[in-house]
Structure 1
Amino acid sequence: MKVRARAPGKIILSGEHAVVHGSTAVAASINLYSVASLDLSSDDDGMLKLELKDTELEFLWPTGRIREVLPGFDCPSPSIPKSCSTESYKSIASLLEEQNIPEAKITLASGVSTFIWLYTAIHGYKPGKVTIYSELPLGAGLGSSAAFCVSLCGALLALSNCCALDYGQQGWVTMKESELDLVNKWAFEGEKIIHGRPSGIDNTVSTYGNLIQFRSGELTRLKSNLPLKMLITNTQVGRNTKALVAGVSERTLRHPDIMASVFGAVDSISKELSTVLQTPVADDIAITEQEDKLEELMEMNQGLLQCMGVSHVSIETVLRTTLKYKLKSKLTGAGGGGCVLTLLPTLLSSVVVDKVVAELEACGFQCLIAEIGGSGLDVCFENSSRN
């Protein structure tokens, strides 16, 4: 049996950094995906294979070797998400050492470790082949690792006894709510291997799609009624998220009253933004009115992020460039580089979009255009019966 699963990336529409200090934030899925293909072939060659297409890396492990290193999965329990212990992680590290990952790509090691854990914990020592490719740039704050985990878990669970799916159905299929809940829990275990202490926001957005409003650890799923398109500009400038978060905290200690007002304003922006997105729109005039409100909210949010000290010269370049075309932008995620969002109004000419993209790419930036708030995890079966 063969299955493909795709999971979207995410953007933070409002509230980054302020959410750490108790404000509301809003995240949304984007129609840029990580795709995992799983082939549980009837040809029992006793091997587990992983192909990472984007990085042109392939890995191969005898399933007997995995059994030696990770014993106890002869009868896996995919219905019960399982955390990777420190001891298991060390054992998996020994499997990676045998693969001789090139030094230039060593940052992928945590993702490969996550793959070994999730595959073995869900399917035990079955031979199989998994192929991964992604439309999401790595390390840009667009949820690439969560999309990897969700798509992988979706494919693995789709061919387990936990999902009652119609294997003969054509095209992309959405799992039931209970099945998505299970995928989300397993993906969170994968995120823990990659990030240590993830918030759970990225994998939740990737699993369910649409919008997530979050505050003080509580996640609320929302549904957008406004079709939105964004230009996402990847400045390709790396950033240290921990240092940026610490910098905002230090500024808060120096100016507690002022920063409290900043965080309060961000909270209000996030709440109003959620209201705007959920308001039904009847025609293009109504859409334009709502887009105008969103542009103002984005502009205000960006100003507050600048007050927090998390902008960057590359981000300011994007802001100036898009403003020349009367388009409003804001950073998304940690700041200090990373990605910038620019709202593309429904009635905006494609000629203008092409000009903006050309100018930004001339600065050395990567431009992606994405629809906001679409579906989450989908699966697609490639033949109608199990092998």
Structure 2
Amino acid sequence: MAGIAVTEVEARAPGKIILTGEHAVVHGSTAIAASIDLYTHVHVQLHPLDNENGCLLLKLKDVQLELSWPIKRIHAELSNLLDPFSLEVVRPCSELTESISVLVGEHEFPEAREGLAAGVSAFLWLFTSINGIRPATITVSSDLPLSSGLGSSASFCVALAAAFLALSGSMGLHCNSQSWLKFGESNLELVNKWAFEGEKIIHGKPSGIDNTVSTFGNVIMFRLGQQTRIKPSIPLRMLITNTKVRRNTKALVAAVSERASRHPDAMSAVFTAIDSISKEVSSTIQLPASDEVSVTEMEAKLEELMEMNQGLLQCLGVSHSSIEAVLQTTLKYKLVSKLTGAGGGGCVLTLLPTLLSRKVIDGVMAELESHGFECMMVAAGGGGLEVCFGRHS
């Protein structure tokens, strides 16, 4: 596949949830994360290289923001830094940080969206590092609410990296199909490495779990940098409730560490218990589930484990009144919930058993939404990154 022959591609990468183990994973415990069928979509259209007056245009549809840079301006800032190199060798993001910041700083961002600047920096770094300096239009939209703990930034970086690498001509995909295509294992690894560097621009020191789940999909067991991919035996149906309460992840992580320093023995026991829960979740979701009885038994066991994990998260001090409101509401419908991610607000997971009636689901969603929360039904543990050449209908 010649790179110059392919000028249009679309990529989609899923968000993620943490099933168990958040916060404790920082202290050496096991965490379980899963992809969800909510995606960030990136559409890229390359324009002719000989268009000297062309621009690099980024359209962020969900925040109604368009940013553009004249190609001549990008050349002036970056051309001396973009020496030819193999895409197999991922360029450290620190090499271009200062120059990228200058280009991003030439645009103003709405006060409520100042955090977008880091995402735009990741975009500029990924595009110029992979595709060089050339005119293009990149359109981004997402099913994922921003800054809610569902991996929106990671899915953004994964989708960008995948689209740019697909257009580089180095991935060996057949571009005569307009259906969704999957990368091979080695190409997924390469996309994940590039996306991780993008995540570093946005978050500083990410764990890498979010971009890995978004790239590969399914379920991942994560501990001290070791990641094991898991294929659940049944789809896991979840209700995600976005409390819309914004939280400071860094501050919450620091608060847990401070509590651990004040009560080392007690907190060590909590982290050990969470580690055991995560390992049991991993084995549970892989159990054979060939009939309704075995599926129901698996889901009941998973509910108990989620309930225990939530209790331990409360011991860590990361719950919130909005999270407790969701827990109490879903409990009225005999459903089990837990926070996902940093806590302190953000999102809450509720397991929806396979045999649960639609009437009950509609009832709990209506009551949660009456509190001002946002509800989303998702399937967890499904596929990961996909690309499509041309615009997907």
TM-score category (smaller protein) = over 0.9
The one of 194, 197, 201 equivalent to 2:205 is 197
2:87 match: 78
The one of 291, 297, 320 equivalent to 1:289 is 297
Looking at structure 2, the residues matched to 29 and 212 of structure 1 have their Cα atoms a distance apart, in angstroms, of 9
Where does 1:280-359 land on structure 2 (aligned, <5 Å)?
Answer: 280-359=288-367
CA contact (8 A) 1:76 1:123 kept: no
Report deviation, 1:247: 1.8
1:40 match: 46
2:175 match: 167
Residue 231, structure 1, aligned to residue 231, structure 2: no
Report deviation, 1:245: 1.5
Looking at structure 1, the residues matched to 291 and 304 of structure 2 have their Cα atoms a distance apart, in angstroms, of 21
Q: Which amino acid counterpart does residue 10 of structure 2 have in structure 1? A: R
Report deviation, 1:265: 1.1
Looking at structure 2, the residues matched to 93 and 253 of structure 1 have their Cα atoms a distance apart, in angstroms, of 37
Report deviation, 1:18: 1.1
Q: Secondary structure at the match of 2:93?
A: coil
Q: Which amino acid counterpart does residue 41 of structure 2 have in structure 1? A: V
CA contact (8 A) 2:234 2:285 kept: yes
Scaled by the length of structure 2, the TM-score of the pair is 0.94
Q: 1:118 to 1:261 in 2, by over 3 A?
A: same
Looking at structure 1, the residues matched to 131 and 11 of structure 2 have their Cα atoms a distance apart, in angstroms, of 16
CA contact (8 A) 1:227 1:372 kept: yes
The one of 134, 137, 155 equivalent to 1:129 is 137
2:35 match: 29
CA contact (8 A) 2:10 2:391 kept: no
Looking at structure 2, the residues matched to 383 and 192 of structure 1 have their Cα atoms a distance apart, in angstroms, of 30
> Unpaired runs of 5+ in structure 2?
1-6
RMSD: 1.5
Where does 1:370-381 land on structure 2 (aligned, <5 Å)?
Answer: 370-381=378-389
Looking at structure 2, the residues matched to 24 and 84 of structure 1 have their Cα atoms a distance apart, in angstroms, of 28
Q: 1:104 to 1:310 in 2, by over 3 A?
A: closer
Moved over 4 A (4+): none
CA contact (8 A) 1:311 1:335 kept: yes
CA contact (8 A) 1:50 1:130 kept: yes
Larger mean CA deviation between 109-118 and 74-83 belongs to 74-83
2:14 match: 8
Report deviation, 1:21: 1.5
Looking at structure 2, the residues matched to 259 and 79 of structure 1 have their Cα atoms a distance apart, in angstroms, of 42
The one of 17, 24, 33 equivalent to 1:18 is 24
CA contact (8 A) 2:43 2:163 kept: yes
Q: Secondary structure at the match of 1:334?
A: coil
Report deviation, 1:36: 0.5
The one of 161, 169, 189 equivalent to 1:181 is 189
Identity of aligned residues (%): 61
Looking at structure 2, the residues matched to 85 and 250 of structure 1 have their Cα atoms a distance apart, in angstroms, of 30
Residue 259, structure 1, aligned to residue 267, structure 2: yes
Per-residue displacement from partner, 1:254-273 (whole Å, max 9, x unpaired)?
22222222111111110010
Per-residue displacement from partner, 1:131-171 (whole Å, max 9, x unpaired)?
00000011101000000000011100111132100101231
Where does 1:151-162 land on structure 2 (aligned, <5 Å)?
Answer: 151-162=159-170
Report deviation, 1:355: 0.9
CA contact (8 A) 1:210 1:222 kept: yes
CA contact (8 A) 1:14 1:270 kept: yes
Looking at structure 2, the residues matched to 347 and 140 of structure 1 have their Cα atoms a distance apart, in angstroms, of 29
> Unpaired runs of 5+ in structure 1?
none
Looking at structure 2, the residues matched to 234 and 160 of structure 1 have their Cα atoms a distance apart, in angstroms, of 37
Q: Which amino acid counterpart does residue 381 of structure 1 have in structure 2? A: F
Scaled by the length of structure 1, the TM-score of the pair is 0.96
CA contact (8 A) 1:15 1:267 kept: yes
CA contact (8 A) 1:28 1:210 kept: yes
Q: Secondary structure at the match of 1:85?
A: helix
CA contact (8 A) 2:235 2:382 kept: no
Looking at structure 2, the residues matched to 130 and 283 of structure 1 have their Cα atoms a distance apart, in angstroms, of 46
Larger mean CA deviation between 280-289 and 53-62 belongs to 280-289
Residue 99, structure 1, aligned to residue 107, structure 2: yes
Q: 1:188 to 1:24 in 2, by over 3 A?
A: same
Q: Secondary structure at the match of 2:276?
A: helix
Q: Which amino acid counterpart does residue 362 of structure 1 have in structure 2? A: S
1:146 match: 154
Per-residue displacement from partner, 1:19-52 (whole Å, max 9, x unpaired)?
1121111000000000100111348352111100
Looking at structure 1, the residues matched to 54 and 88 of structure 2 have their Cα atoms a distance apart, in angstroms, of 25
CA contact (8 A) 2:40 2:140 kept: yes
Larger mean CA deviation between 272-281 and 70-79 belongs to 70-79
Q: 1:198 to 1:18 in 2, by over 3 A?
A: same
